[in-house]
Every structure is written in structure tokens, then in C-alpha cells.
Amino acid sequence: MKLVKATHLNGTIAVPADKSISHRSIMFGALAKGKTTVRNFLRGEDCYSTLHAFQQLGVPIHDDGETITIEGQGFDGLKAATAAIDIGNSGTTIRLMMGILAGQSFETTLYGDASLNRRPMNRVMLPLREMGAQLKGDQETEYPPITVSGTGSLHPITYQMPVASAQVKSAIIFAALQAQGTSTIVEKEVSRNHTEDMIRQFGGTITTEGKTITVTGPQTLHGQEVIVPGDISSAAFFLTAGAMMPDSKITLTNVGINPTRTGIIDVLEEMGADLTLREQDNQNQSATIDIRSSSLKGVTIAGDIIPRLIDELPIIALLATQAEGTTIIKDAEELKVKETNRIDATAEELQQLGADITPTADGLIIHGPTKLHGGQVSSRGDHRIGMMLQIAALLTDEDVELARAEAVAVSYPDFFDDVRTLAQGGETK
Ligand code: S3P
């Protein structure tokens, strides 16, 4: 498609719901006893993959278009699916479900689209096997389809995580909630903690001390009313666009500000962006953020901040093309195993538009500022690459043609409409 053009962006956007929390709201709702309601559920393809997967496991889930209602079955109430379950593009769904299914006394096969079927699953299979479940990849590889033969008698685990990954951590926690005894998980770096927060919200117990998480099973969870805050990873496209574009001022409402997710705000501030947080709601962990055109400088992004902004690195790389000086992104090798290899995709697609960006083994080096030009680019089937390229297209007067634009529906179905709204200086919803 031909991407939207704009000279400046102005207006207010209600940020779409958080993808990580939406997935988990279905999972916890299904595994709790009693009714869970979810308001502001993200109506993106990935979250529907989770919803449909739990319906296939015998969980009644109703959607009246506004609220999702889940008739929770408890950890012991899931039923074997009658066929293999299609997980689509969603890494969070498949990995967290592997942990859930590890404790179930039946066999389930999970498969995905071409991208998901290339993503590594050993990181989850190895600890779950140690806990007593059997998991097999396609033709003995570590890739989906994955068949999980669960067991009602999982053992607890003491596990030092080799990767900083909330998906791996969460899969182990879901298994540990079903095991007999106390599990200890030590993170490589602190990653998003929505699973831990939601265990407490659903009446369970889990302790966190620095990088060490302790959880004792078996536990019984109870249905709750969940209101999903907006996704800072979706807000990131407009936070950066507002800072980069001239004569722009954007207000983003209902932005999730869980501290394990706010690395993007720290980086924007360090680069010199003019942004303000207001109407902070600590209960719902959300805020309104105003961002204005800013003069930006290059920075180094490395170490323990990386998991706090892992999904924002493609758009941060674009931001760096408009900053004075050099930006170095390091310690981000995990980007290679996302929906695409995001180190290569970000570098190669932005090079098509004239950016001075070089891929490295664990990140990117960007020299700025550069005037971008038009060209032909592709999302490569990756929602975040597609959205980043639309924001890049706003920085040139020339035409940018995006292949595989439909990928953005994975996390932000109204994204192009919201860009148009801001280009016309308006408001959404
Ligand atoms: C997610 C964790 C992250 C992130 C993904 C969502 C989650 O993946 O990239 O978009 O909801 O737990 P990793 O755990 O593989 O880093």
C-alpha cells in the first residue's frame, strides 16, 4: 500500500489495549475458578489466537463486542482439544500455553504461521521437560508444531534463565503454579512482570526479589474483573513520531506505564524529547502522555534497559536517524528471534529509505540526522516493522510503498486510521 503522508501530526489518540495483558487476561480467566470479565481487550489477531485456543480447550468465552466474559474452569478443568490448535503469529500465546499445557494430563499440538514456525521453542521446552512434561518439536527440532504431553504431577524447578524473556519466565511460572512444591526462577535481566502481577490480582501468591522469583504450587486462582490499560509498545510509534516531526504535538491517553515496560520513556528523555506524563493512575498503571517536536541527540542503549524496551527498538532506531550524532544499540540479540530478524529487517528496510544504519551482532549503529527519501519497503510480515516504516514515511515528501501492510493487524488494527487522524490534526474515539 502507499503509506500516509503528513507535514506534521497533531491531536489525541486513545492508545489500543496492551497485547501482553490481553493475552494473560484470557489465560488467567480460563485457569481461575469462576467468572472473569475483561474490558478494553485488544482486538488484534494475536489476542484472538489466545481466545480461540482456550475455547478449543473447552473454556466458554463470550464476547458481546464490549466485554469478554470467561467461565473459568480452574487448572483442572481444561479439556483436550479435538484438533491441533492454530496459534497464528503469536509467540506469547504458544510459549505461555506450553507452560499451561505442561501441567495438563492430555496431549495438545500447537502450530503457527510461517514466522512462528521458525521461532525457537527450546528455551521453553528444556525447563518444562525438567519439570516432567514431554514436549516435542516438529521432526525432533525445536520449532512448531509443538506437541505437549502434559502431566498432572509436575515437579518444581530451580532455574537460571539463559535468556531475558518474559515469555520463557511466564511459561515456567504457569507450570510452577501446577507443580507440587516451590520453584525458583532467576532471570537474566528483569523482564515485563504482567504474569506475576496478574497472579496476585487473581488471588494467588508469588514473590519477586530482584531477579529471583519464587512460586509454590499448586494454587487456585479466582475470577476477576480486568480492565486492560493501553499498550506503551503501540504508543511508542506516536511518542517517537511526535518528537521527530516538525510542528507536532500529540496526546496519548491511557498509556500503560508498568515500570518494566517504560524504557522507551527513559530513552526519549535521554535523547532530549519534550514529553510530559500527567493524569497518572497508579492503580491501573496508566497515564496520559503529551509529546512535542524535539531536537534529539544520539545515545547508547545497552544492558538491563533492553528488556524494558525490546519491542520498541525498531522505532527507536528510526528515531535515532533523526537525532544528532551516533546511537548505539547493544545487547539486543533477542531481536533476531522476534516475528522477523528485527536487526536485519530494521537496518535493511531503513537503508532503502536512505538511513545511515548498520546491523551488528547484537544491535544497530545509527548515524544521524539523515533526510530520508521515498522507496519500496516491506513489513516482512512483522507488525512492528510495518508500523515503524509508516512512521518513517512521514519523514519524507516522496512516496513510500509498503508491502505486506496487513501485518499491523496483529497488534494495532486501527494503526493507519490513527496516523491519518493525527495527520489531519484530529482525535480518535
Ligand atoms: C512478551 C514478551 C516479549 C515481547 C513480546 C511480548 C510477553 O518477548 O517481545 O512482544 O507478553 O511476555 P520475549 O519474552 O521473547 O522477550
- For the record, the C-alpha cell of 22 comes out as 490481553
Whether 241 and 296 have beta carbons less than 8 Å apart is answered as no
Is the omega angle on the peptide bond into residue 229 within 30 degrees of 0, that is, cis?
Answer: no
- Residue 334 CA, ligand 1 centroid: distance in Å: 10
The residue contributing the CA closest to ligand 1 atom 13 is 165
Q: Which residues contact 287 (CB under 8 A, 6 or more apart)?
A: 255, 257, 277, 278, 279, 280, 281
Query: Which amino acid, residue 313?
Result: L
pTM score = 0.98
- Residue 35 CA, ligand 1 centroid: distance in Å: 27
Q: Which residues contact 99 (CB under 8 A, 6 or more apart)?
A: 124, 128, 170, 171, 172, 173, 174, 175
- Residue 65 CA, ligand 1 centroid: distance in Å: 27
Q: Identical fold at 10-17+229-423 and 19-227?
A: yes
What is the position in ligand 1's atom list of the atom closest to the CA of 233?
10
Where b means 16+ CB within 10 Å and e means fewer, 181-206 reads eebebebbbbbbbbbbbbbebbebeb
- Residue 384 CA, ligand 1 centroid: distance in Å: 13
> How buried is residue 413: exposed, middle or buried, by Cβ count under 10 Å (0-12/13-18/19+)?
middle
The residue contributing the CA closest to ligand 1 atom 9 is 311
Annotated binding residue at 219? no
> How buried is residue 374: exposed, middle or buried, by Cβ count under 10 Å (0-12/13-18/19+)?
middle
The domain at 10-17+229-423 falls in which architecture? Alpha-beta prism (3.65)
Q: Give all strands of the β-sheet with 300-301 in edge-to-edge order.
A: 300-301, 325-329, 363-368, 356-360
Annotated binding residue at 338? yes
Residue 350 CA to residue 367 CA, distance in Å, equals: 12
Q: Which residues contact 360 (CB under 8 A, 6 or more apart)?
A: 330, 343
Whether 359 and 404 have beta carbons less than 8 Å apart is answered as no
- The residue ranges of every structural domain in the chain are 10-17+229-423, 19-227
**Which helix (H) or strand (E) covers residue 67, if one does?**
strand 67-73
Query: Which amino acid, residue 27?
Result: M
Q: What pLDDT sits at residue 427?
A: 72
Q: What pLDDT sits at residue 140?
A: 84
Residue 361 CA to residue 108 CA, distance in Å, equals: 36
Residue 129 CA to residue 418 CA, distance in Å, equals: 44
What is the position in ligand 1's atom list of the atom closest to the CA of 170?
12
The answer as to CATH 3.40.50.10470 being correct for domain 19-227 is: no
Question: By three-state DSSP, how is residue 275 classified?
Answer: strand
- pLDDT tens sequence for the chain (429 residues): 999 999 999 999 999 999 999 999 999 999 999 999 999 999 999 999 999 999 999 999 999 999 999 999 999 999 999 999 999 999 999 999 999 999 999 999 999 999 999 999 999 999 999 999 999 998 889 999 999 999 999 999 999 999 999 999 999 999 999 999 999 999 999 999 999 999 999 999 999 999 999 999 999 999 999 999 999 999 999 999 999 999 999 999 999 999 999 999 999 999 999 999 999 998 889 999 999 999 999 999 999 999 999 999 999 999 999 999 999 999 999 999 999 999 999 999 999 999 999 999 999 999 999 999 999 999 999 999 999 999 999 999 999 999 999 999 999 999 999 999 999 997 765
Residue 390 CA to residue 382 CA, distance in Å, equals: 13
Residue 345 CA to residue 318 CA, distance in Å, equals: 12
Is the omega angle on the peptide bond into residue 16 within 30 degrees of 0, that is, cis?
Answer: no
The catalytically annotated residue of 18, 46, 231, 311 is 311
311 is catalytic: yes
Residue from 250, 231, 227 nearest 428 by CA = 250
Write out residues with Cβ below 6 Å of ligand 1.
Answer: 20, 92, 165-167, 170, 192, 310-311, 334
Whether 327 and 368 have beta carbons less than 8 Å apart is answered as yes
Positive or negative torsion for Cα 21, 25, 27, 31? positive
DSSP per-residue letters across 85-138? EE-TT-HHHHHHHHHHHTTSSSEEEEE--TTGGGS--HHHHHHHHHTT-EEE-G
What is the position in ligand 1's atom list of the atom closest to the CA of 164?
16
